[in-house]
Amino acid sequence: MKTVFQREKEPSPVNYGGQNYDDVDDDEGMDGDFNDKNNDSLASNEPCLVCGGVAKGLHFQVNSCRACAAFFRRSTKSKLVYRCQRGTGRCDLTVKVKGVKGKPLCRYCRMKKCTSVGMRIESESIPSLESTHNSPPSTIPESETTSLQVSYKDMPRSEIRLEGKRIVYNTQPLVSLVKDSLQQNRSHLLSLPRGITITPMQKMNYAISRFVNSLTPKIGDIQIVTEIGADCGMRFQEEYILKLIDVLTSCDYFVNLPACDKFPLFKRFWTVFQQLERGYQTMVVFGSETNDYRFIIDDKKAVDMDLDKVKITGMPASDLNNVMKLFEPIRERMFTHLMNPLKTIRPTIFEIAYMAQQILWSCFGKEF
């Protein structure tokens, strides 16, 4: 299906390692010539299910105008991430259609509405992030890519419960699976054309890019929570750790380490790297405002680190006050020394991969 976009002005998006995060208002004049065989099946006076304007037929299986269809295709194909103009996620998308002067349509709410009304693009028609940015092709066998997922599903689930001030969780099943998985060698699974070789840094960049993309929250799915459960996202942490193993077992130098060194090195690496990766995802989704204390904690939830708003489910008020006092200096250090510098320099994914290498191998003089 051939698609042609016409725009009066092309904005200059901010680029974070291959993904575009557009910080300028969307041009509502953008139109698209969609040669959909169902385009003529609907009357021209049908309303667009996204903005309420006049629809031009079926686009992406939904009755919509060409501007909204073009917006959806561009946003989906380029994996654009937006934030709500008003910060509510409930903007009125019909305001501009009615002729009222003001800001263009909120792109966050527009994309959310496109998804909610059922707009879909067949997966095979959307180039992957790796192919659209000339990353090395991957021909990893399905059995290899799913081995950890199968092991994770078969792993006995440890009960998570709160006993007074303690969170009770048996880590032994997860530790056993991690130790076994770290002995894998995935460095040979990346298939390249004959005569082409890549450096260890390029290989790490590829692995980190795949890892980060697999954890990037979907637009409109993130919920800002004010209460944190006793498990604190432990199930997400389990899956996170096992996915991160794929990154290190794709690194030749790590694979060649003695078996006894791999688990101590990984145990030290993942706790530090996760803060960097979560900070990067937070910056991508919520922007670079240094007075914004929202922080993504898993694939669907973010917490506002404003201590006056945070509560821990199941914890008495007297204990909660003491816990919040402990968290206050942690929050200050995290935003002063991690989040605010990240938002200032806005690193690319290649720079994140470089920092990951530094974290992994900066172990001189460390005791495991």
> Domain check: are 215 and 283 in the same one?
yes
pLDDT of the residue at 341: 93
pTM: 0.59
Is 367 among the domain residues? Answer: no
> Domain check: are 87 and 141 in the same one?
no
Tens-place pLDDT, residues 13-72: 333 333 333 433 344 334 344 444 444 444 456 788 888 888 777 777 778 888 888 888
Tens-place pLDDT, residues 246-270: 999 999 899 999 999 999 999 999 9
Residues of the chain with pLDDT under 70: 1-45, 95-103, 122-156, 164-165, 219, 230-232, 307-309, 314, 364-368
> Domain check: are 40 and 134 in the same one?
no
Is 179 among the domain residues? Answer: yes
> Domain check: are 104 and 161 in the same one?
no
Per the CB < 8 A criterion, the answer to whether 224 and 292 are in contact is no
User: Which of 92, 126, 160 delimits the end of a domain?
Assistant: 126
pLDDT of the residue at 262: 94
pLDDT of the residue at 360: 93
Is 298 among the domain residues? Answer: yes
Is 251 among the domain residues? Answer: yes
Is 146 among the domain residues? Answer: yes
Is 85 among the domain residues? Answer: yes
Taking alpha carbons only, the member of 117, 28, 112 closest to residue 76 is 112
Burial of 234 (0-12, 13-18, 19+ CB in 10 A): middle
pLDDT of the residue at 279: 94
Given the DSSP bridges, would you call strands 311-312 and 227-228 parallel, antiparallel or unpaired? parallel
> Residue ranges of the alpha helices (H) in the chain?
66-77, 107-116, 129-132, 142-145, 147-154, 172-181, 200-215, 234-248, 252-255, 259-286, 317-334, 340-345, 349-361
Is 339 among the domain residues? Answer: yes
> Domain check: are 206 and 300 in the same one?
yes
> Domain check: are 103 and 142 in the same one?
no
pLDDT of the residue at 116: 78
User: Which of 126, 161, 183 delimits the end of a domain?
Assistant: 126
> Domain check: are 225 and 341 in the same one?
yes
> Domain check: are 115 and 177 in the same one?
no
User: Which of 126, 147, 178 delimits the end of a domain?
Assistant: 126
What is the domain count for the chain? 2
pLDDT of the residue at 45: 67
Is 368 among the domain residues? Answer: no
| String of DSSP letters for 291-334 | T--EEE-SSSEEEE--TTT-EETT--HHHHHHHHHHHHHHHHHH
> Domain check: are 211 and 158 in the same one?
yes
> Domain check: are 15 and 61 in the same one?
yes
254 Cβ contact list (under 8 Å, min separation 6): 248, 262, 265, 360
What CATH number corresponds to the domain at position 263? 1.10.565
> Nearest 5°: phi and psi at 161?
-145, 160
> Domain check: are 101 and 173 in the same one?
no
> Domain check: are 118 and 144 in the same one?
no
What CATH number corresponds to the domain at position 36? 3.30.50.10
Per the CB < 8 A criterion, the answer to whether 133 and 77 are in contact is no
| Distance of alpha carbon 31 from alpha carbon 240, whole angstroms | 40
Structural domain including 242 reads: 130-361
226 Cβ contact list (under 8 Å, min separation 6): 303, 304, 309, 310, 311
| DSSP state for residue 47 in the 8-state scheme | B
Residue 181 in tokens: 């998985």
Half-sphere exposure of 36 (CA within 13 A, CB side): 22
Residues linked to residue 311 through DSSP beta bridges, in sequence order? 227
78 Cβ contact list (under 8 Å, min separation 6): 19, 20
User: Chain-wide mean pLDDT for the chain?
Assistant: 74
